[in-house]
Amino acid sequence: MEDALNITVKPQEPKDGVLTAEITVAAADVDAAIAKTYKDIAHKYQFQGFRRGHVPRPIIDSIIGKQAVLANATNDILNDIEPMLLDELDIVPIGRIEYPAEPELVAAGTDYVVECHMDVRPDAGLTTYDAPTIKMPPAEATDAEIDLQIDQLLSYQTSYEDAKLKRGVKAGDIISVNIENVEGAERYAGNNRMINLDGAALPEALSEALTGMKAGETKDVEWADGDTTVKLTVTLNSIMKAVKPELDDELAKKSFGFDTVAELRDAIKSEIEADKLRSLPGLKEDRLVEAVGKTLDIDEIPENYKNQIFQELASEFLNTLQRQGMTLDTYLGARGIDMGSFLEDLRVQADSRARQSLALDALAKHLGLTASIDEVRAEFEKAQVEDVDAAIAEWTGDGRIPALRESIKRTKALNWLVENANVEIVDEVAERAAEKPAKKKTTKKKAAKKEEAPAEDAPAEAVEEAPAE
């Protein structure tokens, strides 16, 4: 309808995650809706003996049926009141607004009253409203960070040779294998294939088969990959060791274009600090949101809300893959991830994001944060929208303004966290390096698979990209 309806909304307190509201549409607007429906029908259809658009109501009633006309007018009103209802309640429902399956039809000269139901997010609180304490890396590059970057650079110069070990393969080893007789996954075939048993990129069945093998041993392995059964024969050539060149001035100049190691370190230091200047603000926000999400005072997130977030995450991820020219099957296959594991990980992420969103909402409510019309306009202006008024009108007509106001309030809550957080500066790279020896001493087979890092001298990326011969 061209003009906004005159409606009155009476919401009830949400019960079991469902909000019920009674909506009343003024009689004058009901009459206008009925008149518009008659006019639309008169223009849409040709009635014999009458010019298009000039058909008396009794004629339309006798041919189309008065009940059908009122049904159309009712549907128009229900469609028109939905965005107004959301704006009036300033709410973003979960899913669609539900009306009676067979709503009462409008009647001329009478207010129209209808009841609706919508799923809403829980109004949860936080266990504490104090700004959290988080750990952050320093803005300056540390020696440990520079050493790590140099180690990664040297990994591209690293070669691998037989370690001459007689023991069986263990988690974390780098091995050379021949893979043949492949059915269902030809990407695995090849001689002298370098594999890092870090547990990250291999199918579980193949990783388990390789564990314990000794040089010269051959095994037949098979596993299910979706609807396909993968079969292959693997022969262990040897357990490998990395041979990394010693960094000196000569190598710094020959391989990296710097006269001395000191100049190389200075260049890496500048690069790390420039990257931190860009990335640390976002990292701080991410860690604060994660921290405040853990203070959400709720036992279980409603399944319908988690499902909504899950759909949003899946859509975001698929859109990212599409922009990169990849399909989901290609992505999963390249990383050796099965669909079940991928979906399970996505559901874990959905649960975390749902908790974090609810926590920011709770904090915004506790702080009394609001979103004014000027702040709404500012969002469109930041997006460089040409006609802000037209954009606001369009969003209002679609019922999307409450979601924008919600986003503004969450951003304000996040800004409050950033300004008030307690930050502990930690050299995290040095801490992780110090923890590695302790992890390697574990005697639990299951823990070793999960915790042991890839061999320091052989980053996973370097191993995975080694070509087959």
With H, G, I as helix, E, B as strand and everything else as coil, classify residue 58: helix
What's the half-sphere exposure (Cβ side, CA atoms, 13 Å) at 223? 14
Clarify whether residues 77 and 47 are in a common domain.
yes
Percentage of the chain exceeding pLDDT 90: 69
Q: Which residues pair with 15 in a beta bridge?
A: 18
Instruction: State how far the Cα of 229 lies from the Cα of 206, in Å rounded to an integer.
Output: 13
Angle between helices 373-382 and 401-420 (to 10 degrees): 90
Give me the CATH number covering residue 316: 1.10.3120.10
Task: Say if 80 falls within a structural domain.
Answer: yes
Show the domain range for 164: 159-243+432-464
Instruction: State how far the Cα of 333 lies from the Cα of 316, in Å rounded to an integer.
Output: 20
Q: Taking a C-beta distance cutoff of 8 angstroms, is the pair 371, 405 a contact?
A: yes
**Other Cβ atoms closer than 10 A to 177:** 22
Task: Find tokens 């803005």 and name the residue.
Answer: 139
* Listed residues 68, 100, 120: the one ending a domain: 120
With H, G, I as helix, E, B as strand and everything else as coil, classify residue 434: helix
Clarify whether residues 396 and 456 are in a common domain.
no
Task: Say if 207 falls within a structural domain.
Answer: yes
Q: Confirm whether pTM is higher than 0.75.
A: no
Clarify whether residues 408 and 335 are in a common domain.
yes
Clarify whether residues 221 and 304 are in a common domain.
no
Instruction: State how far the Cα of 255 lies from the Cα of 273, in Å rounded to an integer.
Output: 23
Q: What is the pLDDT of residue 462?
A: 31
Q: In whole numbers, what is the pLDDT of the chain averaged over residues?
A: 88
Task: Say if 129 falls within a structural domain.
Answer: no
| 3-class secondary structure per residue, 397-453 | HHCCHHHHHHHHHHHHHHHHHHHHCEEEECCHHHHHHHHHHHHHCCCCHHHHHHHCC
Number of domains forming the structure of the chain? 3
Highest mean pLDDT among 97-101, 437-441, 450-454: 97-101
| pLDDT one-digit tens code per residue, 412-449 | 999 999 999 999 999 999 999 888 754 444 433 333 33
Tokens linked to 335: 């990383």
pLDDT for residue 467 is more than 70: no
Q: Residue 459's pLDDT band (boundaries 50, 70, 90)?
A: very low
Query: Can you list the alpha helix ranges (DSSP code H) found in 294-426?
Result: 303-323, 328-335, 339-367, 373-382, 388-398, 401-420
Ramachandran region, residue 384 (left: φ > 0; alpha: ψ -120 to 50; beta: rest): left
Task: Say if 169 falls within a structural domain.
Answer: yes
Tokens linked to 251: 């190598």
Clarify whether residues 195 and 304 are in a common domain.
no
Task: Say if 125 falls within a structural domain.
Answer: no
Instruction: State how far the Cα of 336 lies from the Cα of 206, in Å rounded to an integer.
Output: 11
pLDDT for residue 268 is more than 90: yes
Clarify whether residues 304 and 409 are in a common domain.
yes
Clarify whether residues 316 and 415 are in a common domain.
yes
Instruction: State how far the Cα of 412 lies from the Cα of 370, in Å rounded to an integer.
Output: 9
Clarify whether residues 223 and 292 are in a common domain.
no
Clarify whether residues 111 and 169 are in a common domain.
no
Element of type H or E holding 219: strand 218-225
